[in-house]
Amino acid sequence: MLNLQTASEHFTNPLYLESGRILEPYDIVYETYGELNVAKDNVIVICHALTGSHHAAGTYEGDNKAGWWDGLIGQGKAVDTDKFFVICTNVIGSCFGSTGPMSPRYPYTDEYRYKFPVVTILDMVKAQRILFDRLGIHQVHAIIGGSMGGMQALAFGVFFPNFAKKIIAMAATAVTQPWAIAFNKVAQEAILKDPEFKNGYYDPAVIRENGLSGMAIGRMAGHISFLSPDSMERKFGREYKRNDGLYELFGKFQIESYLEYNGYNFTKWFDPLSYLYITKAINIYDLSRGFDSMEEALSKINAELYLVSFDKDLLFLPSEMRSIHDTLVQLGKTNSDYFNVDSDYGHDAFLVEIDKIEDYVRSAL
């Protein structure tokens, strides 16, 4: 059974961040599925991507939108909730209940906004590790994540080498490359230059109501990197909107309408400051920080490592995942397996083409 449960934990001990700053107190919202067995050895941690949340599977009462990885997690699915106890947390810095830039800045009542410290992927992972300790979970069967979730999964492997028996990282990288940073830069600039952003002192209720044009434009740029030329051709081709004329100046191709709809809709449910902070975390992500080399960092991974890339992923190229595997092989380690998925969908294939990864995930687990 799915047994969807949502909960929150409040922490008063300081969270020491990579930057040298401290976050205290802080909250972490999380969701669980399935049942924890007596031995507590059937735990699977799911890590979400940039705009994801703790709601990875199932549907809430009165809501028809399923969790973002519902195709993968559930009864009889690849991550089978009849066998496993699955937990997904909302990362710190996000806007779905865990402490982030729009949370009250203790001991005051006003929001952190720019006073919120820069957090890193490692900080997100560290906070989750503290949560799991509180829940009495000291080792897990597996950690699974895609994109920024894959970054977290890899960070767990490097910095907490004995925490997970298996790690499945998809559509990720060991260090964010300039190409991905460039897409994030467009989004960041578009947000910052929007007058309605008010230099970070916007009214969140107004943004939820009206959206934020700059953020929508940035999201459109990001969305291009989530797809591929092939998937756009297949999905939209050069089709025009039926009620628009080819020679109307603002007539739209269907791809334009799609980007507009996704861009503007997105700004009504995702906080702009959270977007800035999380893209910053992605940009500065580098597994080798604190080590002499990437080889030294990756050599720390003791878990069985399953690396999944997607053919037409333009954001995190298959070669980036392959290089992690090749490095481990060159180091003489035998704990790594690499699987490149034949897909022309693009980066978001890990969310969309579940049929292409479910057998691999099931057998890895």
Q: Which amino acid is at 176?
A: T
Residue 111 near residue 103 (C-beta atoms within 8 A): yes
In Å, how far are 135, 144, 218, 349, 355 from 346, measured between CA atoms? 37, 19, 18, 6, 15
Residue 93 near residue 273 (C-beta atoms within 8 A): no
DSSP track, 189-248: HHHHT-GGGGGGT--HHHHHHH--HHHHHHHHHHHHHHS-HHHHHHHTTTPBPTTS-TTS
How do strand 85-89 and strand 26-33 relate by DSSP bridges? antiparallel
Instruction: Give catalytic residues, as residue numbers.
Output: 147, 313, 347
Residue 45 near residue 88 (C-beta atoms within 8 A): yes
Q: Which amino acid is at 157?
A: G
Alpha-helical (H) ranges within the chain are 121-134, 148-159, 178-192, 204-210, 213-226, 229-235, 254-266, 272-283, 294-298, 318-330, 349-352, 358-364
Q: DSSP assignment, residue 336?
A: E
Q: Which amino acid is at 336?
A: S
Residue 117 near residue 19 (C-beta atoms within 8 A): yes
Q: Can you read off the two tokens belonging to residue 319? A: 């070669």
